[in-house]
Structure 1
Amino acid sequence: MTRLQAPPALQDGRVLARPPSIFTTALTLPEVRWALGALVLFFLGWGLQLGGAPELLWWAAYLACYGVGGWQQALSGLNALREKTLDVDLLMVVAAIAAASIGQVFDGALLIVIFATSGALEVIVTRRTADSVDSLLGLAPEQAELLHEDGSTSTVAGRDLEPGHRIIVRPGERIGGDGTVVEGVSEVDQQAITGESVPVTRGMGDEVLSGTVNGTGTLTVEITRPASESVISRIVTLVEEASGTKAKTQLFIEKVEQRYSLGVVVGTLLVLTVPMLFFAHTFEDALLRAIVFMIVASPCAVVLSTMPPLLASIANAGRHGVLVKSATVMETIGRSSVVAFDKTGTLTEGSPEVSAVEPGAGHGADQVLALAAAVERHSEHPLGRAVVQTATQRGLTLPEVDGFRALPGRGVTGSVSGRTVTVERAERGTSTTGTRVQVRCGDEVIGTILLVDRLRVDAPDAVRAVSRLTGSPAVLLTGDNASTAAAVAQRTGIGTVHHSLMPQDKVGIVDELSARGEHVLVVGDGINDAPALATAGTGVAMGRRGSDLALDTSDVIIVRDELGALENLVRLSRKARRYVIANLTIAATFIVTLVTLDLVATLPLGLAVAGHEGSTVLVALNGARLLRRSAWEG
Structure 2
Amino acid sequence: MTAAVRPVVRRAEGPGRAPRPGRPASGLAGLREVRWAAGSLACFALAALLGAAGGPPPLQWVLWAACYASGGWEPGAAGLRALRARVLDVDLLMVVAAVAAAAIGQRFDGGLLIVIFATSGALEAVATHRTEQSVRALLDLAPETATVLDDAGHEREVATGDLKPGDTVVVRPGERVGADGTVRAGASEVDQASITGESTPAVKGPGDEVYSGSVNGSGLLRVEVARPASESVVARIVALVEAASATKARTQLFIERLEQRYSVTVVAATVAFVVVPLLVTDWSFRRVLLEAMTFMIVASPCAVVLATMPPLLSAVALAGRHGVLVKSTVVLEQLAGITTVAFDKTGTLTAGRPEVTSVVAAAGWGRDEVVRLAAAAEAPSEHALGRAIAAAARRSKPEPGSGSGAGAAAAGAVEAQAGTFRALPGRGVEAVVAGAYVEVLSPRAASEATAGEAASDAGAWWRPVVGDAEAEGGTAVVVLADGTPVGVIAMRDRVRLDAPDAVARLAELTGRRPVLLTGDNLAAARQVAEQVGITDVAAGLLPEDKVAAVVARQAAGEVVMVVGDGVNDAPALAAANLGMAMGKSGSDVTLQVADGVIMRDALSTLPALMTVARRARRMVHQHLALASAVIVVLVGLDVAGHLPLPLGVAGHEGSTVVIGLNGLRLLRRRAWPEP
Q: TM-score range by the shorter chain?
A: 0.5 to 0.7
TM-score normalised according to structure 1 size: 0.56
Shift of 1:282: 4.4
- Conservation of the 8 A alpha-carbon contact between 1:323 and 1:558: yes
In structure 1, what is the equivalent of residue 276 of structure 2?
274
- Conservation of the 8 A alpha-carbon contact between 2:342 and 2:515: yes
In structure 1, what is the equivalent of residue 615 of structure 2?
575
In structure 1, what is the equivalent of residue 535 of structure 2?
495
Determine if the alignment matches structure 1 residue 524 to structure 2 residue 564: yes
Shift of 1:469: 1.7
Determine if the alignment matches structure 1 residue 621 to structure 2 residue 675: no
Shift of 1:74: 5.2
Aligned residue for 2:354, secondary structure, equals strand
**CA distance in structure 1 between the partners assigned to 2:85 and 2:550 by the alignment:** 34
Mean Cα displacement is larger for which, 103-112 or 336-345? 103-112
In structure 2, the CA distance between the partners of 1:307 and 1:404, relative to structure 1 (3 Å rule), is farther
- Conservation of the 8 A alpha-carbon contact between 1:302 and 1:587: yes
Determine if the alignment matches structure 1 residue 293 to structure 2 residue 306: no
In structure 1, what is the equivalent of residue 492 of structure 2?
452
- Conservation of the 8 A alpha-carbon contact between 2:544 and 2:571: yes
CA distances 1:398-443 after superposition (whole Å, capped 9, x unpaired) = 667658989769996579xxxxxxxx9956326453345899xxxx
Mean Cα displacement is larger for which, 100-109 or 309-318? 100-109
Instruction: Give the 5 Å matches for 1:464-479.
Output: 464-479=504-519
Shift of 1:564: 0.9
In structure 2, what is the equivalent of residue 605 of structure 1?
645
In structure 2, the CA distance between the partners of 1:71 and 1:260, relative to structure 1 (3 Å rule), is closer
Determine if the alignment matches structure 1 residue 353 to structure 2 residue 355: yes
In structure 2, what is the equivalent of residue 588 of structure 1?
628
In structure 1, what is the equivalent of residue 33 of structure 2?
42
**CA distance in structure 1 between the partners assigned to 2:284 and 2:333 by the alignment:** 47
In structure 1, what is the equivalent of residue 446 of structure 2?
none
Shift of 1:465: 1.8
Shift of 1:470: 0.7
- Conservation of the 8 A alpha-carbon contact between 1:348 and 1:453: yes
Shift of 1:300: 1.6
- Conservation of the 8 A alpha-carbon contact between 1:45 and 1:57: no
In structure 2, what is the equivalent of residue 250 of structure 1?
251
Aligned residues: percent identity? 41
Instruction: Give the 5 Å matches for 1:64-213.
Output: 65-66=74-75, 78=87, 90-98=88-96, 101=99, 102-103=110-111, 104-105=113-114
Aligned residue for 2:306, secondary structure, equals helix
- Conservation of the 8 A alpha-carbon contact between 1:338 and 1:519: yes
In structure 2, the CA distance between the partners of 1:369 and 1:279, relative to structure 1 (3 Å rule), is farther
CA distances 1:592-613 after superposition (whole Å, capped 9, x unpaired) = 2221221111533222211222
Determine if the alignment matches structure 1 residue 27 to structure 2 residue 14: yes
- Conservation of the 8 A alpha-carbon contact between 1:373 and 1:391: yes
The letter of the residue matching 1:300 is: C
Aligned residue for 1:566, secondary structure, equals helix
In structure 2, what is the equivalent of residue 225 of structure 1?
none
Aligned residue for 1:451, secondary structure, equals strand
The letter of the residue matching 2:624 is: L
In structure 2, the CA distance between the partners of 1:482 and 1:107, relative to structure 1 (3 Å rule), is farther
In structure 1, what is the equivalent of residue 388 of structure 2?
386
Aligned residue for 1:560, secondary structure, equals coil
Aligned residue for 2:579, secondary structure, equals strand
- Conservation of the 8 A alpha-carbon contact between 1:69 and 1:113: no
Aligned residue for 2:613, secondary structure, equals helix
In structure 2, what is the equivalent of residue 318 of structure 1?
320
In structure 2, the CA distance between the partners of 1:593 and 1:99, relative to structure 1 (3 Å rule), is same
The letter of the residue matching 2:14 is: L
In structure 2, what is the equivalent of residue 433 of structure 1?
473
In structure 1, what is the equivalent of residue 141 of structure 2?
none
**CA distance in structure 1 between the partners assigned to 2:16 and 2:82 by the alignment:** 16
Shift of 1:466: 0.6
**CA distance in structure 2 between the partners assigned to 1:503 and 1:373 by the alignment:** 26
- Conservation of the 8 A alpha-carbon contact between 2:252 and 2:309: no
**CA distance in structure 2 between the partners assigned to 1:59 and 1:284 by the alignment:** 21
CA distances 1:544-580 after superposition (whole Å, capped 9, x unpaired) = 3334554454433322221111111222222333333
**CA distance in structure 2 between the partners assigned to 1:99 and 1:389 by the alignment:** 72
Shift of 1:386: 3.3
**CA distance in structure 2 between the partners assigned to 1:281 and 1:409 by the alignment:** 102
In structure 2, what is the equivalent of residue 207 of structure 1?
none
**CA distance in structure 2 between the partners assigned to 1:437 and 1:503 by the alignment:** 17
The letter of the residue matching 1:339 is: V
In structure 2, the CA distance between the partners of 1:592 and 1:483, relative to structure 1 (3 Å rule), is same
**CA distance in structure 2 between the partners assigned to 1:358 and 1:550 by the alignment:** 30
CA RMSD of aligned residues (A): 5.2
In structure 2, the CA distance between the partners of 1:410 and 1:303, relative to structure 1 (3 Å rule), is farther
| Larger relative contact order (Cα-Cα within 8 Å, sequence gap ≥ 6) | 1
In structure 2, the CA distance between the partners of 1:44 and 1:403, relative to structure 1 (3 Å rule), is farther
Shift of 1:495: 3.3
Q: Residue 555 of structure 1: which of 589, 595, 603 is its match?
A: 595
- Conservation of the 8 A alpha-carbon contact between 1:480 and 1:500: yes
- Conservation of the 8 A alpha-carbon contact between 2:397 and 2:412: no
**CA distance in structure 1 between the partners assigned to 2:598 and 2:397 by the alignment:** 43
Aligned residue for 2:343, secondary structure, equals strand
Shift of 1:41: 4.1
Aligned residue for 2:534, secondary structure, equals coil
The letter of the residue matching 2:258 is: E
Aligned residue for 2:351, secondary structure, equals strand
- Conservation of the 8 A alpha-carbon contact between 2:79 and 2:89: no
Aligned residue for 2:492, secondary structure, equals strand
Unmatched tracts of structure 2, length 5 or more? 1-8, 18-29, 47-61, 100-109, 130-247, 414-439, 442-461, 480-486
- Conservation of the 8 A alpha-carbon contact between 1:249 and 1:332: no
**CA distance in structure 1 between the partners assigned to 2:532 and 2:81 by the alignment:** 50
**CA distance in structure 2 between the partners assigned to 1:522 and 1:384 by the alignment:** 23
**CA distance in structure 1 between the partners assigned to 2:68 and 2:403 by the alignment:** 78
**CA distance in structure 2 between the partners assigned to 1:345 and 1:98 by the alignment:** 59
Shift of 1:340: 1.7
Shift of 1:517: 2.4
**CA distance in structure 2 between the partners assigned to 1:249 and 1:630 by the alignment:** 27
The letter of the residue matching 1:291 is: M
TM-score normalised according to structure 2 size: 0.53
Mean Cα displacement is larger for which, 576-585 or 378-387? 378-387
**CA distance in structure 2 between the partners assigned to 1:251 and 1:438 by the alignment:** 53
The letter of the residue matching 1:592 is: V
Aligned residue for 1:523, secondary structure, equals strand
- Conservation of the 8 A alpha-carbon contact between 2:79 and 2:90: no
CA distances 1:213-246 after superposition (whole Å, capped 9, x unpaired) = xxxxxxxxxxxxxxxxxxxxxxxxxxxxxxxxxx
**CA distance in structure 2 between the partners assigned to 1:283 and 1:513 by the alignment:** 65
In structure 2, what is the equivalent of residue 308 of structure 1?
310
- Conservation of the 8 A alpha-carbon contact between 1:41 and 1:61: no
- Conservation of the 8 A alpha-carbon contact between 1:375 and 1:401: no
Aligned residue for 2:672, secondary structure, equals helix
Unmatched tracts of structure 1, length 5 or more? 1-21, 31-38, 79-89, 121-246, 361-367, 416-423, 440-446
The letter of the residue matching 2:510 is: T
In structure 1, what is the equivalent of residue 49 of structure 2?
none
In structure 2, what is the equivalent of residue 234 of structure 1?
none
Aligned residue for 1:339, secondary structure, equals strand
**CA distance in structure 2 between the partners assigned to 1:67 and 1:404 by the alignment:** 85
Mean Cα displacement is larger for which, 261-270 or 516-525? 261-270
**CA distance in structure 2 between the partners assigned to 1:410 and 1:436 by the alignment:** 23
In structure 1, what is the equivalent of residue 173 of structure 2?
none
**CA distance in structure 1 between the partners assigned to 2:581 and 2:252 by the alignment:** 23
